[in-house]
Structure 1
Amino acid sequence: MKTILLAGAALMAAPFAMAQSHNAHWEYEGDHGPDHWAQISHDYASCAGAEQSPIDLNGYAINAAINPPAIYWRNARVTDAQNNGHTFQVNLDNAGKIVVDGVDYNFLQFHFHSGSEHTLDGRRYPLEVHLVHASDDGRLAVIGIMFARGEHNPLLDDLINVIPGSVGHAQPTMSINLNDFLPDDWHSYRYEGSLTTPPCSEIVDWTVFETPITASADQFAVFETLFPHSYRPVQERGRRFVLRTN
């Protein structure tokens, strides 16, 4: 996948916070919704780009002789838990890294979308978590994992207990092991895309796992209540290659 450089990797520590730093107000519905993001502000012009995310992951993917990212996550302390009005975002202290095509990407933060932003053969899941990483030279790699209806998820319970009920921050005394997000089956899809919120910068090497993990209806209801329908509709794949890993 091509190398994409950023001016200042620190900006990527919180894509949603970066988007909110602009004066233009955006939402998931109505006159400030996804269909209008590119017109809201000049800063959001990339939202009309040709390599936007999310996309539907389907039979057009090419089965490729590549592996998913090598993952080196470890138990880490939560430094900030934020309700920013669009999502619940969690920052961790020194949680590890992933390696994609020989390049190290250090973990920055994870956040959720209710329902899933990516779809699989047209199916939207109730929830998706995005685990955001950046390399030393500012490239981004994000892992997306879906949640399907099923068994209760203990990690989600721990997180739900510390979500601020309104816009704001919390600094809970807790640790998280990101490996608890991983499904047993690591088959995944890789493609080049964008941030899924304004400014929609086309700077992301995406890996989306094919197999979801589970959570209960009560757990999904919490996210749907606090962040209803917080997903961008799927975008055109265009001429991009989507690769399915071994």
Structure 2
Amino acid sequence: MYSKLILDYKNQNQLLTVGPNMWCWISNVYPNTHSILLFHELLIFRLEWKGDAGHLNINETYYNLIQCHWHTPSEHTLNGTKFDLELHAVHKSSKGEFAVIGILYKIGSPDPFFSKLLNDIKSSVDKDIDVGVINPREIKFKSRPYYRYVGSLTTPPCTEGVVWTIVKKVRTVSSEQLSALKGAVHHGYEENARPTQELGGRQVWLYGPMENEKPT
């Protein structure tokens, strides 16, 4: 079973807090490339970091950021609502374990991170290009509250045991930015999200801000 889940926060009764070392990003930023990959019958447009782009610390396991890609529409829903776009930031540990951060977007104001990539996205259709140095911090992964569960990758080989983190706050992306991301995929795969699955007995945890910390 793929791990795109229906998240219901109205009935969520488990609110936890996390320590200050939950998120840890190193300062070194290396050049980046765009690449378009074909996974069986699913085209995915992704931004791939060369070298060390930072890491995520979950229960003392360090997962290095390796790439980001997008799905339209979203693969997760909140209270039955599907959104226009979902970003997946894929991290991998030294043991080959995966952790993915998911960020949901709806149509609205332009997203600052996408704005910096817009021209490159438009020019990268059907080819790989080098877009230079981009700091992954600009995606602003550090946001609470968020959901967490253990599932699988949503594209083949659909690896199990993946730690998923879904940011609860829905961000905005402009129509132009969304069209550019769809156009980079095209070939009939502009909408490349797999159908949403039920929880299937999985536990989903909602993590909130620490004491004296404002939500981000």
Q: Does the 8 A contact of 2:65 with 2:91 survive in 1?
A: yes
Aligned pair 1:244/2:203, yes or no?
no
* Percent pairwise identity: 31
Give the whole-Å Cα distance in 2 for the aligned partners of 1:184 and 1:141: 15
Q: Does the 8 A contact of 2:101 with 2:141 survive in 1?
A: no
Structure 2 counterpart SS, 1:219: helix
Aligned pair 1:111/2:64, yes or no?
no
How far is 1:238 from its partner?
1.0
Give the whole-Å Cα distance in 1 for the aligned partners of 2:23 and 2:146: 12
How far is 1:70 from its partner?
1.5
Residue in structure 1 matched with residue 78 of structure 2 by the alignment: 120
Q: Once the two structures are superposed, what CA deviation does each residue of 1:25-71 show, in whole Å capped at 9, x if it has no partner?
A: xxxxxxxxxxxxxxxxxxxxxxxx3xx21111113545232428413
Residue in structure 1 matched with residue 3 of structure 2 by the alignment: 53
Q: Does the 8 A contact of 1:148 with 1:214 survive in 2?
A: yes
Q: Structure 1: which amino acid aligns with 2:23?
A: A
Task: Pick the aligned partner of 1:155 from 106, 113, 128.
Answer: 113
Q: Does the 8 A contact of 1:82 with 1:88 survive in 2?
A: yes
Residue in structure 1 matched with residue 18 of structure 2 by the alignment: 67
Evaluate the alpha carbon distance shift between residue 160 and residue 203 of structure 1 in structure 2; reply closer, same or farther with a 3 A threshold. farther
Question: Where has structure 1 moved over 4 Å in runs of 4 or more?
Answer: none
Aligned pair 1:234/2:185, yes or no?
no
Provide the TM-score with structure 2 as the length reference.
0.81
Q: Does the 8 A contact of 1:74 with 1:179 survive in 2?
A: no
Aligned pair 1:221/2:179, yes or no?
yes
Evaluate the alpha carbon distance shift between residue 138 and residue 66 of structure 1 in structure 2; reply closer, same or farther with a 3 A threshold. farther
How far is 1:136 from its partner?
1.3
How far is 1:181 from its partner?
1.8
Count of residue pairs brought into register by the alignment: 195
Structure 2 counterpart SS, 1:203: strand
Q: Structure 2: which amino acid aligns with 1:226?
A: A
Give the whole-Å Cα distance in 1 for the aligned partners of 2:119 and 2:161: 33
How far is 1:190 from its partner?
0.3
Structure 1 counterpart SS, 2:157: coil
Evaluate the alpha carbon distance shift between residue 184 and residue 104 of structure 1 in structure 2; reply closer, same or farther with a 3 A threshold. closer
Residue in structure 2 matched with residue 194 of structure 1 by the alignment: 152
Runs of 5+ unmatched residues, structure 1: 1-48
Q: Structure 2: which amino acid aligns with 1:76?
A: V
Task: Pick the aligned partner of 1:84 from 37, 40, 53.
Answer: 37
Q: Does the 8 A contact of 1:84 with 1:168 survive in 2?
A: no
Q: Does the 8 A contact of 2:34 with 2:124 survive in 1?
A: no
Structure 1 counterpart SS, 2:197: coil
How far is 1:182 from its partner?
2.2
Q: Structure 1: which amino acid aligns with 2:15?
A: A
Residue in structure 2 matched with residue 10 of structure 1 by the alignment: none
Structure 2 counterpart SS, 1:131: strand
Q: Does the 8 A contact of 1:81 with 1:90 survive in 2?
A: yes
Residue in structure 2 matched with residue 139 of structure 1 by the alignment: 97
How far is 1:240 from its partner?
0.9
Supply the RMSD in Å over aligned alpha carbons: 2.1
